[in-house]
Amino acid sequence: MRTLFGTDGVRGRANVEPITGETAMKLGQAAAAVFRNQSGGRHRIVIGKDTRLSGYMLESALTAGLCSMGVDVLLVGPMPTPAVAFLTRSFRADAGIVISASHNPFYDNGIKFFCRNGFKLPDEVERDIERCVFSNETSALRPTGAAIGKAFRIDDAEGRYIEYVKSSLPKGFDFEGMKVAVDCAHGAAYKVAPTILRELGAAVTVIGNAPDGVNINLDCGAVHPERLQKVVVEVGADLGIAHDGDADRAIFVDAQGRVIEGDAVLAMFALAMQRAGALKGDAMVATVMSNMGMEIALRTAGIRVVRSDVGDRYVLEQMVKHGLNFGGESSGHVVFLDHHTTGDGLITAVQLLRLMKQTGKRAAELADCMTPLPQVLLNVPVRRKAPLPEIPEMASLLADCEARLNGQGRLLVRYSGTEPLLRIMLEGEDQAEIFAMAESVKHLAEKHLGGLEAA
A 10 A CB-CB count for 220 gives: 25
Coil, strand or helix at 257? coil
Does an H or E element contain 287, and which? Answer: strand 283-287
Axis crossing angle, helix 262-275 with helix 345-359, rounded to the nearest 10: 60
CA dihedral 184, 186, 192, 193 (to 10 degrees): 10
Contact (Cβ atoms closer than 8 angstroms) between residue 35 and residue 125: no
Is 440 marked active-site?
no
Contact (Cβ atoms closer than 8 angstroms) between residue 367 and residue 265: yes
- Please tell me what DSSP assigns to residue 201: T
CA dihedral 270, 277, 281, 340 (to 10 degrees): -60
Cα 354–Cα 359–Cα 362 angle in degrees, nearest 5:
80
C-alpha 56, offset from chain centre? 23
* Active-site residue (options: 102, 168, 330, 331): 102
- Please tell me what DSSP assigns to residue 417: S
Picking from 359, 329, 358, the residue whose alpha carbon sits closest to that of residue 343 is 329
- 250-253 sheet: strands from edge to edge: 203-207, 179-183, 239-243, 250-253
Strand partners, 250: 243
Coil, strand or helix at 423? strand
Q: Which residues of 135-168 are buried (b: 16+ CB within 10 A; e: fewer)?
A: eeebeeeeeeeeeebebeebeebbeebbebbbeb
Contact (Cβ atoms closer than 8 angstroms) between residue 83 and residue 134: no
Q: Kind of pairing, strands 421-427 and 375-381? A: antiparallel
Residues annotated catalytic, as ranges: 102
